[in-house]
Each structure stands twice: as C-alpha cells, then as structure tokens.
C-alpha cells in the first residue's frame, strides 16, 4: 500500500523535533552544572523537588486557561519564548565561592601531617599524583585554636617566644606550609579513605609574623581542625566533600536565587509547551490516537542528536580546564528554540469540543477507582524518573573518578547515554507504541514499565566501569518511551470533551509535580546519607514491590468486571476497552 504523508502533521513533527533538540543541550546537564557551581547534592535534590511542584501548579492552570479561553496557540508559543530565554540567561550565573576543604592538622613525635577523610576520597591519591606529578603546593592553613593549643605552640613550635602571649587570645592559628603532591599516604580509617599529606620538618611560616614554625621538640600530640587553601581548583574539587554549599548556605546567596529563578521560569515554559502541545497534537489527530507515538518519536530524534552533540562539544571546549565549559549549550538552546517558535506558527489547530464546566468534568475523573490507580501509577513512575533525570550523571561522574577513568570524556559518555536512550530506546518504542498498546492493553503495559524500572535500577547498582551503562540505556524505551505514550494516550481517551488540554496538564502535573518532585527530594537525601549505588538498589527493589502490587490490584479489578463507569456526563472506559475507539484500519496509510 502506498504510504501518504499527512502535511497537516508536519509542523507538529517539526515542533517535537525542535523543542526537544532545544532543551536537550541544557536540561540533562543542569544537576552537574549545579554541583560545579558549588552546591551539594541535597541542594540539587531540593531544587528538583520544588521545580516539578511549580510545573504541577503551572500545567493545570495554563491548561485550564487554554481550554476556557481557547488560547492554546498563544500560550503554546509564549511558553517556547520563556523556555529559550530563561535557559540562555543561566549562562550568566556566577559560581559561588566554595568553602575550603576541611582537614585536620596533626603533629606528634616531630612528624607533622595534614589529614583529609571522606567516604568519597577513593582514588583521589592517584588522581592528585597523576595531575600534579612532582609539583608541590603552597597552602594556607586556618586552624581552630584553643588556649591549651597556644601553650604547645608557644613552648615548642616557635624559635622565639617574644609576643607569643599576645596570640593566646586568638581563636585562629594561621600558617602556611608546602606539601609535596607525590608524597601522599592513603589509609582506610573507619570506613573512610583518609589522605595524609606529610609536612617537611621545620617548614612553615606563622601568618603575619614571619616566624619559623617548627615541629614540637617534645613528643607532644597536637591536633586541630583547619581549612586548607592551596589556591588551586583541582585539589579543592578532589577534596569535594566539604567544598560544597549546603541548603542553608545557598538560601543566602543572590547567585543561587538567580540560578534557581531562571530554572523556575524555564520549567514553567516547558510545562506549558509540553502539556498544551500534546493536547494540540491529539486535537489534530482526532480519533487516530495510536499515531501519537509516531509524532512524538521526532522529539526523541531531536533529543538524542543534540544531546550527543552537546556532550561532545562541551568536552571539546573544556579541554585542559578543571571545570566544564557549558557556554555552547546555552547558545544552542536559544537558537533552536527560536526555530521551534517559527515552525510552531505554522500549526493550524481549532478546539472542536467545548465543556460547559471544565473543573466539574475533570474532577469526576477522581471518582473512578481505575483513574485513581492510573494517577498513582504516574506518581510511581515519576519517582523513578526523577532519579534518572537528576542523579544519573552525578552517579556516572562519581564512578568515573572512583575507578580512575579520568574526566576528559565524561560529557561525551553522558551524550552517548542520551543518544542511546533516544535512538536505541525511545525511538523504536514510540514508533511501536500504538501497536503494543492495541495488543497488550494499557494495564499490562503499565505493569511492564514498572518491572523495567526495577531491572534498570538494579543493573545501575551493579555498575563498576561507567561505560558499561550504555547497553542498560536501551531500557529507556520501556521506562520512558512506552510509558509516555501510554500516559498521554490514556489521558486523551478518558478526557471529557472540551477538557483535553486540562487533562493532559493534570496528568503531567501528577507525574512531575508529585512523582518527580518526591523522587528528587528522596534521591537527594539518599545520595547524601548513603551512597549513589545503594540509592539505585533501594529504588530498584521498590519498583519490583510496586510492580507486584499493581498486578494484584489490576487482577482484582478485572475480576470485578471491565464495564465503563458512569460519572454524570463522563463515561470512563477500562484501558483495553477504550482501544476500540481507535480505528487504525481507516488511517493505516497516514504517518
């Protein structure tokens, strides 16, 4: 049969391609950029808990406005402008001054050393030695000093005691010292890796007094908590446990609020574009719901291509730098979102159905137990999706450092991850989603997605070499491609006439505003309190448990009957029964 191309759908395909191509260079890198700017994983988790809540509020609000005042196109185009401009402005966010690494200064029996302990210090010794070679660093020390400490310093350390009494009132002992970067000891202490930087005997200068700092003449033990500043970004990043801003510290920084504010604006823009865009797409498709996946796969194509390109370009532009240079991704976002705006002006969409009471009609969805199960399923998927969206790359960069892979190509690996997620995963499953849904039914597909999440997370927890993640990413076709097509088509089928944009917005808000938000907070707390590997293991086990619960609930519902449930003017169809509404034979020649 000769395949015909529906020209009415070409602008929709162009939008999906360009919108995803415009957001792909920026969105995946935001959590790692936040860490590079100096914020902790808890701050990242908190931000990505709040952002989906903002989206949850924005989606139904603007969806309702679009349906109530018939302003789908206007809001759709405005959302694209907001997204592109806000992403571009993030380029001007300055990095915060990171706290100096916390260390302990030790001196005993004439031997002085600086010790840094952290559960994340694995392989730091070899990284420092390979980076610095035989170089030495001059480091300034600021140590907490108590009166008894000054007794030791004045009596044993200084070659003179003149004016030492004046120092006894000071709570800070300051001095500088030179440490050799090829003379570092790595010792396991209480489940932590501790690095010992040895200090040459009789070396160091008391700040401001130009007096030699000797090691104690007696075998006295001396220990002080200090901040160490070696005036070098690389060692500060390697000793990164303390070199981050916590949530309380971030709240008082104007640069944080500028960064977070731009993220909020971009998130609102994306929320409007995604939810209203899907409603416009289903409006153009009419009864051809099963063709949604073929439109949406253009978005996966754009995401995969430009995410991979962005990763390679960031690595190339960052060659030789300690930190990654993300400038190119913000320019890409601005230019491509401009192209999306132009392509979207060609869309021709008119709302065919009107609702006399949108809030009442949509609210009746919550009277159906099946719909409630569907909403809870969206929340569960959101929990898992948050871990992948916001913390997967942080995990990869930890593996990269822990297993001495070097960081010269980590952004290329992250680009490849997104490329495989799209081309090897989402693309084929978006293409086949209509066929799969018609033969398996929505209920069985929902269960399959939960099971796939469990497998994916358990495989993540077993990773050693970060490059082994690439074949795992094929599962993204099930956990996102098939999931998203199921969620969107299901919402379109059960939406009362005239509430299409509101319903798409509501489902998207439940998925992101509740599920992704909660997952971001939980993931951030677990990353900080346990380990990244353990976090993925916990989420994997939870996914299997929810899968079993979902199967049992659906079996009970099926046993009680699949008939539609009348809620006033709305008739709810069970997922498998609803598919009779799709007449693919009539439209099988349309792509």
**pLDDT tens track for 207-229:** 444 444 555 455 556 788 888 88
3-state secondary structure of 170: coil
Strand partners, 105: 114, 224
Contact 470, 416 (CB under 8 A): yes
72-81 residue pLDDT tens: 778 888 888 9
Q: Of 53 and 164, which is predicted with more confidence?
A: 53
Closest CA to 41 of 323, 322, 391: 391
Q: Which of 219, 276, 227 is nearest to 99 (CA)?
A: 227
Report the distance separating Cα 195 and Cα 116, nearest Å. Answer: 5
Which CATH number is associated with domain 7-96+247-347+363-577? 1.20.1250.20
Q: What is the pLDDT of residue 537?
A: 92
249 sits in which H/E element:
helix 247-251
Q: Which helix (H) or strand (E) holds 501?
A: helix 500-509
pLDDT of residue 336: 92
Instruction: Compute φ and ψ for 199, nearest 5 degrees.
Output: -105, 130
Contacts of 193 (CB under 8 A, 6+ apart): 117, 118, 119, 121, 122, 124, 186, 187
pLDDT of 562 over the 50 cut:
no
DSSP element (H, E) containing 192: strand 192-199
483-494 and 369-402 helices, crossing angle to 10°: 160
Contacts (Cβ under 8 Å, ≥6 apart) of 10: none
Position 161 scores a pLDDT of 47
Long-range contacts (CB closer than 8 Å, 24 or more residues apart) made by 357-363: 358/64, 358/67, 358/68, 358/498, 358/499, 358/502, 359/64, 360/568, 361/496, 361/498, 361/499, 361/568, 361/569, 361/570, 362/495, 362/496, 362/499, 362/502, 362/503, 362/506
In this prediction, residue 282 has a pLDDT band, given cuts at 50, 70 and 90, of confident
User: pLDDT category, 366, cuts 50, 70, 90?
Assistant: low
Q: What is the pTM of this model?
A: 0.62
Bigger pLDDT: 82 or 403? 82
Q: Is the pLDDT of residue 456 over 90?
A: yes
Please compute the mean of the pLDDT values over residues 29-37 and round it to a whole number.
Answer: 83
Nearest to 451 by CA among 428, 483, 425, 426: 483
116: nearest Cα among 129, 127, 101, 99: 101
Res 23 pLDDT > 80: yes
Q: With beta carbons less than 8 A apart as the criterion, state whether 482 and 429 touch.
A: yes
DSSP code, position 425: I
Q: Residue 584: its pLDDT value, please? A: 37
What is the pLDDT confidence band of residue 352, given thresholds at 50, 70 and 90?
Answer: low
- Highest mean pLDDT among 120-134, 198-212, 528-542, 576-590 belongs to 528-542
Query: Which tokens hold the place of 296?
Result: 């949406």
Phi, psi of 97 (to 5 degrees): -75, 115
Name the percent of the chain lying above pLDDT 90. 9
Residue 155: closest CA among 168, 144, 142, 174? 168
Question: Does position 242 have pLDDT exceeding 80, yes or no?
Answer: no
The mean predicted confidence, pLDDT, of the chain is 76
Question: What is the C-alpha separation between 100 and 513, in angstroms, rounded?
Answer: 36
**Per-residue pLDDT tens digits for 108-141:** 666 777 888 776 555 677 778 777 877 888 888 8
User: Whole-angstrom Cα distance, residue 80 to residue 270?
Assistant: 7
| pLDDT at residue 576, rounded to an integer | 41
Those residues with Cβ within 8 angstroms of residue 148's Cβ, 6 or more apart along the chain or in another chain:
none
pLDDT exceeds cutoff 60 at 5:
no
Question: In this structure, are residues 450 and 550 in contact, taking their beta carbons and an 8 Å threshold?
Answer: yes
Identify the CA nearest to 583 among candidates 280, 353, 285: 285
Residue 403: predicted pLDDT: 67
Residue position matching structure tokens 């029996």: 109
Sign of CA dihedral 579, 582, 583, 584: negative
| CA-based nearest residue to 458, from 379, 372, 382, 547 | 547
How far is it, in rounded angstroms, from Cα 375 to Cα 362?
13
Tell me which H or E stretch contains 186.
strand 184-189
Domain locations along the chain: 7-96+247-347+363-577, 102-238
pLDDT of residue 199: 72
Average pLDDT on 267-292 reads 77
Which stretch of 60-69, 384-393, 464-473, 529-538 has the lowest confidence by average pLDDT? 60-69
* The predicted structure's pLDDT at residue 179: 81
Supply 349's token pair: 């969409």
Q: Could you tell me whether strands 205-206 and 211-212 are parallel, antiparallel, or unpaired per DSSP bridges?
A: antiparallel
Least confident of 204-208, 340-344, 460-464, 494-498: 204-208
Q: List pLDDT tens digits, range 308-330.
A: 888 888 878 877 666 778 889 89
DSSP state of 421: I
- Rounded distance between C-alpha atoms, residue 521 and residue 572, angstroms: 34
Kindly tell me the sign of the dihedral angle through the C-alpha atoms of 150, 154, 159, 165: positive
> Quick one: pLDDT at residue 43?
83
Does the pLDDT value for residue 545 go beyond 90? yes
588 has pLDDT over 50:
no
How confident is the model at residue 565, as a pLDDT? 39
Quote the pLDDT of residue 85. Answer: 92
């Amino acid at each position: 049969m000769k395949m015909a191309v529906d020209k009415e759908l070409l602008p929709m395909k162009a939008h999906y391609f360009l919108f995803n191509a415009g957001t792909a260079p920026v969105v995946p890198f935001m959590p790692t950029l936040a860490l590079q700017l100096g914020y902790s994983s808890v701050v990242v988790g908190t931000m990505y808990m709040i952002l989906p809540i903002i989206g949850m509020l924005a989606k139904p609000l603007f969806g309702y406005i679009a349906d109530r005042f018939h302003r789908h196109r206007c809001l759709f185009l405005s959302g694209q402008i907001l997204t592109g401009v806000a992403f571009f402005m993030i380029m001007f966010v300055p990095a915060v001054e990171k706290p100096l690494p916390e260390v302990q200064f030790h001196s005993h029996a004439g031997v002085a050393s600086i010790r840094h302990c952290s559960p994340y210090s694995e392989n730091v010794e070899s990284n420092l030695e390979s980076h610095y070679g035989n170089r030495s660093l001059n480091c300034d020390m600021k140590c907490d000093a108590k009166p008894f400490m000054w007794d030791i310093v004045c009596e044993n350390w200084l070659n003179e005691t003149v004016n030492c009494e004046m120092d006894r009132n000071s709570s800070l002992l300051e001095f500088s010292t030179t440490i050799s970067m090829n003379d570092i000891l790595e010792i396991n202490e209480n489940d932590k890796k501790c690095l010992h930087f040895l200090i040459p005997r009789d070396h160091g200068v008391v700040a401001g007094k130009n007096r030699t700092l000797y090691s104690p003449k007696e075998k006295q033990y001396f220990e002080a908590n200090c901040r160490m500043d070696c005036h070098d970004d690389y060692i500060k990043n390697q000793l990164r446990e303390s070199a981050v801003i916590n949530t309380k510290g971030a709240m008082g920084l104007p640069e944080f609020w500028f960064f977070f504010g731009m993220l909020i604006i971009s998130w609102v823009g994306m929320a409007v574009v995604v939810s209203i865009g899907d409603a416009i797409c289903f409006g153009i498709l009419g009864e051809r719901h099963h063709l949604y996946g073929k439109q949406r796969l253009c978005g996966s194509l754009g995401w995969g291509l430009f995410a991979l390109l962005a990763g390679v370009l960031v690595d190339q532009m960052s060659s030789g730098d300690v930190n990654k240079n993300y400038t190119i991704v913000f320019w890409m976002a601005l230019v491509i979102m401009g192209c999306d705006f132009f392509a979207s002006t060609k869309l021709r969409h008119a709302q065919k159905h009107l609702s006399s009471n949108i809030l009442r009609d949509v609210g009746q969805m919550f009277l159906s137990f099946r719909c409630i199960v569907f909403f809870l399923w969206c929340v569960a998927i959101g929990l898992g999706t948050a871990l992948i969206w916001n913390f997967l790359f942080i995990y990869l960069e930890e593996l990269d450092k822990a297993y001495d892979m070097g960081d010269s190509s980590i952004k290329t690996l992250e680009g490849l991850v997104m490329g495989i997620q799209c081309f090897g995963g989402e693309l084929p499953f978006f293409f086949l989603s209509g066929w799969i849904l018609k033969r398996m039914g929505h209920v069985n597909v929902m269960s399959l997605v939960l099971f796939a999440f469990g497998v994916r997370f358990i495989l993540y927890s077993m990773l050693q070499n970060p490059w082994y993640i690439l074949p795992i990413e094929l599962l993204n076709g099930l956990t996102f491609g098939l999931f998203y097509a199921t969620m969107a088509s299901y919402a379109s089928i059960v939406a009362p006439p005239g509430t299409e944009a509101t319903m798409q917005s509501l489902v998207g808000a439940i998925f992101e505003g509740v599920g992704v938000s909660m997952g971001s907070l939980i993931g951030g707390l677990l990353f900080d309190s346990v380990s990244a590997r353990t976090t993925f293991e916990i989420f994997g086990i939870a996914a299997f448990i929810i899968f079993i619960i979902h199967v049992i609930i659906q079996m009970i519902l099926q046993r009680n009957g699949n008939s539609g449930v009348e809620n006033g003017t709305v008739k709810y169809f069970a997922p498998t029964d609803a598919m009779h509404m799709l007449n693919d034979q009539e439209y099988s020649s349309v792509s």
